[in-house]
Chain A
Amino acid sequence: QITLKESAPTLVKPTQTLTLTCTFSGFSLSSSGVGVGWIRQPPGKALEWLALIYWDDDKRYSPVLKSRLTITKDTSKNQVVLTLTNMDPVDTATYYCAHITVVIDNFDHWGQGILVTVSS
Chain B
Amino acid sequence: AQTVTQSQPEMSVQEAETVTLSCTYDTSESNYYLFWYKQPPSRQMILVIRQEAYKQQNATENRFSVNFQKAAKSFSLKISDSQLGDTAMYFCAFMKPEYGNKLVFGAGTILRVKS
* A pairs with B: no
Mark A residues whose CB is within 8 Å of B: none
Mark B residues whose CB is within 8 Å of A: none
